[in-house]
Amino acid sequence: MNNFILNFAFLLLVISSFLKQKLLKQVGFLTFAIVFCFYGIAQKNSLFVFWGIIVFLINLYRLLEILRKKKSATRIDEEIIDIYNNVFPELSKEEFGLIWEKGKILKSRQGEILCKQGIVQGDIFLLLEGKVAVFRDNRKIAELTRGNFVAEKGYVKRKPASADVVAETDIEYVLWKRIDFERLKEENPQLFSKINDVLQKGYSH
């Protein structure tokens, strides 16, 4: 019977390790820790019980952190509610929160170049404040303001940028690295697909 408990515990550990959904993964690890503790009690092995409790507490903390982030992800600050409504309406509030926390809010001075024509752009920008100008072959073809993406076409198509993008004023923007979206593709393919649709819609207008 004791061998069955131990084998069951390690089976849970192996299965949990392969789960991609973080919440389910932590629940699996917690269950492993509980079963491992019971095995230690059955064996009257205080060392097994001790380490089972340690593993349980660590994964309980991680589970609570995941739940806390999920809860906070459903709250959208007033300053960016228009971004959610106008740019990401297809996403749930939780999905928007997950995407938003992957980005980094940065500032650039007037005259700084965000994107260079002919260069493959790995990052994506979403303007929050200020204005940028788009130049193709040294000719101004557009201006972009709050709620507009920069360099999304190059990211989606994996091709060199078709224009220069220069800050016409001091600007504030959200920056997402390509690696952020590559990780998202592995962790949450469904959400990645939605984001891809948002980006494609952005450059099709």
Q: Spell out the residues 6+ positions from residue 31 whose beta carbon is closer than 8 angstroms to its own.
A: 12, 16
Beta strand 149-150 with 104-108 is unpaired
Average pLDDT of 116-138? 89
For 72-101, how does the pLDDT look when each residue is reduced to its tens digit (9 = 90+)?
655 678 889 999 999 999 898 888 988 888
Residues 41, 159: Cα–Cα separation, whole Å: 60
Instruction: Give the pLDDT of residue 202.
Output: 60
For 22-67, how does the pLDDT look when each residue is reduced to its tens digit (9 = 90+)?
888 889 999 998 988 888 888 889 998 999 899 999 999 988 888 8
Structure tokens at 37: 């503790």
Instruction: Give the pLDDT of residue 73.
Output: 57
Q: Model's pTM, two decimal places?
A: 0.63
Inter-CA distances, 9 with 2, 51, 72, 184, Å: 11, 13, 33, 30
Q: When comparing pLDDT for 86 and 12, which is higher?
A: 86
Is the pLDDT assigned to residue 104 strictly greater than 90? yes
Q: Which residues of 52-87 are buried (b: 16+ CB within 10 A; e: fewer)?
A: beebbeebeebbeebeeeeeebeebeeebeebbeeb
The Cβ of residue 163 has, within 10 Å, a number of other Cβ atoms equal to: 22
For 172-204, how does the pLDDT look when each residue is reduced to its tens digit (9 = 90+)?
999 998 888 888 888 888 988 998 888 887 654
Q: Which fold has domain 89-204?
A: Jelly Rolls (2.60.120)
Q: When comparing pLDDT for 40 and 157, which is higher?
A: 40
Element (H, E) at 165: strand 164-167
Instruction: Give the pLDDT of residue 205.
Output: 44
